[in-house]
Amino acid sequence: MLEARALCKQFGSLTVIDQVDFRLGADEAVGIVGPNGAGKTTLLNLLSGAMQPSAGQISYRDADIKDHDAAARCRLGIGRSHQVPRPFIGMTVFENVLVAAQQGGNAHGPDAYQRGVDALQACCMLERANRRAETLGLLDRKRLELARALATKPDILLLDEIGGGLTDGEAEELVQIIQQLRKRGIAIVWIEHIVHILVQVVDRLICMDAGRIIADGLPAVVLADKAVMSAYLGGGAI
């Protein structure tokens, strides 16, 4: 469904993404792990359109989307959440999802309102619908981030360390929400450092290091890979 070929991103002389090939099938859930600076968030930025690649191709449902900006990709069905939640402060929780449903989801009138309600319900945020976004705690901000992406009616959700900064119990709550989203047929690309919650959801795991994919396969196989252990899990130091 979503495919990137020979993707590169350079900032001056620094190569952050180096010849990455990536493929995501329909209904698939892919986890991405790797040490800090591996290029995981940059890869997500390139896929979501927040950044333009220096070279390479990105296609969605066999159509070239490399030149589409973030808003256009969102309207095509590629939703994204941020590592640090970025709610529209000053707006209520419901307004946050409503604007996403209307613009990203192309819903109008009562349909947009209903989609906003559905997104909040799916993310256990309906009872906080009328609260202003800036009054929310971290877990609720992460739920709102997820609900806002969901309101755009995505086929693919790109999640950037959505479990970061949460307790195990809170992260488990998010896992349950994400598992429900999977049942709706939404494909997921999830960057996460908390590997034990990630492997509960994903079918496939990718490990990145220094802008390259060093392992790609079943989670158990990737986590047992010597190169992965050395680069990410600190195998060389043990």
- Which residues sit at the interface with other proteins, rule CB under 8 A? 48-50, 69-72, 74-75, 79-80, 82, 86-91, 95, 98-100, 102-106, 148-149, 152
Asked if 89 contacts 132 with a C-beta cutoff of 8 angstroms, the reply is yes
Please say which residue, 132 or 212, places its beta carbon nearer to other proteins: 132
Q: How many Å is the maximal CA-CA distance in the chain?
A: 59
Please say which residue, 45 or 231, places its beta carbon nearer to other proteins: 45
Going from the C-alpha of 225 to that of each of 19, 35, 221, the distances in angstroms are 21, 15, 6
Asked if 9 contacts 51 with a C-beta cutoff of 8 angstroms, the reply is yes
To the nearest whole angstrom, how small is the minimum distance from the Cβ of residue 145 to other proteins?
9
To the nearest whole angstrom, how small is the minimum distance from the Cβ of residue 86 to other proteins?
4
Please say which residue, 63 or 220, places its beta carbon nearer to other proteins: 63
Tokens standing for residue 166: 């949460």
Residue with tokens 């079918």: 203
Question: Which residues, 6 or more positions from 15, have their beta carbon under 8 angstroms from its beta carbon?
Answer: 8, 9, 211
Please say which residue, 46 or 215, places its beta carbon nearer to other proteins: 46
Q: What is the CA radius of gyration of the chain?
A: 18
Please say which residue, 55 or 72, places its beta carbon nearer to other proteins: 72
To the nearest whole angstrom, how small is the minimum distance from the Cβ of residue 26 to other proteins?
21
To the nearest whole angstrom, how small is the minimum distance from the Cβ of residue 50 to other proteins?
6
To the nearest whole angstrom, how small is the minimum distance from the Cβ of residue 233 to other proteins?
31
